[in-house]
Structure 1
């Protein structure tokens, strides 16, 4: 028997959720908290599915029946009303700019404000360029683990295992920013831990023998190229810092009285993602 507004208003909560039917698949679910939620049950391709129309009284009985009629019209034309609703939401989010590319740009902007090292910023922008090629125009809340994995597999297929690993990390960092802003509910990269090929670690060659080190220092002393390069190499052998720290060092960073070189924090190497 069809429902009436009076019946719906008088529905009382119980210990467990229960349903009260209208007709043609429309029903109200009454929750233990007292909420009255509109749902519609339908079948397509032999499968039973459910649509949500919102809560009463914000969605009135007349509105719920109108939404049911629209859904039944889609079913009559062979379309899945649930899929149509989902696609409309996706297009709406895309129109609102809630795409992966938007949050990727926000992540880069944040890194710039945090004064990340130039090399770190360049690597971050390059990795996000790879991600944007596949994910950029997609609403971030629609991106699932399999979608991210397909993007990573393209990089992995070229034998770039370390790049694929770093790409997964940077995509995860973008998702965490989106979650903090309420645009996504979870980080799909979390489920991909262990899904990629682990790169073989190759340690860089290092001189550990004192005699060989002496030979290197003599070779630097005998270098006849650019003077600044020679001085930088000699300085590097003393302070054992990264080349970038030496290249971008400024006179004001040095205290010649105390014989101390202070490197600004923003110039030090920073990780691209947690």
Structure 2
């Protein structure tokens, strides 16, 4: 039997590479020629002699080595191989280190970041970091139950951020499904929370949908006495019904007067990152009224980058509040009309009053296609129909503008 002093004084003869000092129970201290000392336990499994490395001396003292031997012996008595069990335990520790919710979420985010838009990618991670990582980020995926996940979601909901809570449940579900696919967990507790949070009441953007009220709006635009650029921005919002961001950030390089169209680059459209990089530009045919509006703006801002530059600096486009503020000055409050409402106005009135094919309008609205054709659908097939529609819509708005005003 060894003693602590014997372990301390043990050395390897100069004529040998190593020497072994037995403690009993097949535990021994092996001393190498460079004076390094290591503990080993010798055992037999399946008729084959093996040895288990216990640690280095003096980091592992004699008493600790004996305790490790006794634990290994217990494992052997169950019929398991202590060496294999240790490897399995180490693998579990390594796996646990990369199966926490935060680590898997960040891994998933890094994977999807290549295809998500920058805005969605930033929002997805920011909401996780603010609301989920502090509470469940350090927990292994497999230990997170529906009740555990519900707690931080309830905290968000309790702040009146119901829509955020619902989004976070969806984001968490993405992480768990990725965890299942990569072998880090076997269950998605987020799916069990469907219905556990308050429903999100979606409020549509206010929009003028009645033709007579649309006539009032067009007359108000015609009579607008504010800045000329703001008036033209209002008019083009009605004529083109593109997203407000594409109107206010329109660049002169997009405007093709010869072709009577605006060509919005794919990178400037509301699309996935993949579609922004590889997608086709969005074509907006121009009716004569829209061409006339842009020619008026060409005189004002044609030497700069933007059709509607900021008043403070021409290096930036018009503020995103400009059109909405102008609508308020014209007497349309935020329950009646918004900059985004021009899109709904055009779609609704054209279908109801002009009987335009909704598919043609959807193409012009640049709404993503669903179904088997998806984005592979050839948009040029509807180019002429869209051009005819834009002329029809511009002429109809003129008719509404010239019609009899609504009586209050």
Report the TM-score, using the length of structure 1 for normalisation: 0.56
Distance in 1 of aligned mates of 2:111 and 2:231: 37
Q: Give the corresponding residue for 2:245.
A: 244
Contact 1:90 1:139 in 2 (8 A): no
Alignment of 1:182-193 (within 5 A): 182-193=183-194
Classify the secondary structure of the residue corresponding to 2:113.
Answer: helix
Instruction: Please give the residue correspondences for 1:14-25 in structure 2 after superposition, counting only pairs within 5 Å.
Output: none
Q: CA deviation at 1:114?
A: 0.9
Aligned residue runs from structure 1 range 120-269, under 5 A: 120-129=120-129, 130-221=131-222, 222=224, 224-225=226-227, 227=229, 230-247=231-248, 257=259, 259=261, 261-262=263-264, 264=266, 267-269=269-271
* 1:189 to partner: Cα distance: 0.6
Deviation at 1:169, TM superposition (A): 0.7
Q: Secondary structure at the match of 1:261?
A: strand
**How well do the aligned residues superpose, as a CA RMSD in angstroms?**
3.9
Tell me the number of residue pairs that the alignment of Structure 1 and Structure 2 aligns. 195
In structure 1, stretches of 5+ residues that fail to align are 7-59, 69-87
**Structure 2 residues not aligned, in runs of 5+:** 1-44, 47-71, 81-89, 273-408
- What SS is found at the alignment partner of 2:201? coil
1:138 Cα deviation (Å)? 1.8
TM-score by length of 2: 0.40
SS in 1 for 2:189: coil
Distance change in 2, residues 1:233/1:263 (3 Å):
farther
Cα separation, 1, equivalents of 2:111 and 2:227: 40
Tell me, in whole angstroms, the C-alpha distance in 1 between the residues paired with 2:189 and 2:148: 9
> What are the Cα deviations for residues 1-29 of structure 1, in whole angstroms up to 9, with x where unaligned?
xxxx88xxxxxxxxxxxxxxxxxxxxxxx
Against the structure 1 CA distance between its residues 249 and 105, is the aligned structure 2 distance closer, same or farther, given a 3 Å change threshold?
Answer: farther
Cα shift readout 1:60-89 (whole Å, capped 9, x = no counterpart) = 996342799xxxxxxxxxxxxxxxxxxx99
User: Partners of 2:271 and 2:163 in 1: how far apart?
Assistant: 18
Which secondary structure does the structure 1 equivalent of 2:199 belong to? Answer: coil
Whichever of the two has the greater Rg, that structure is 2
Cα distance change of structure 1 residues 90 and 223 upon mapping to structure 2, 3 Å threshold: farther
Cα offset, 1:235, TM superposition: 2.7
Contact 1:232–1:246, Cα closer than 8 Å, also in 2: yes
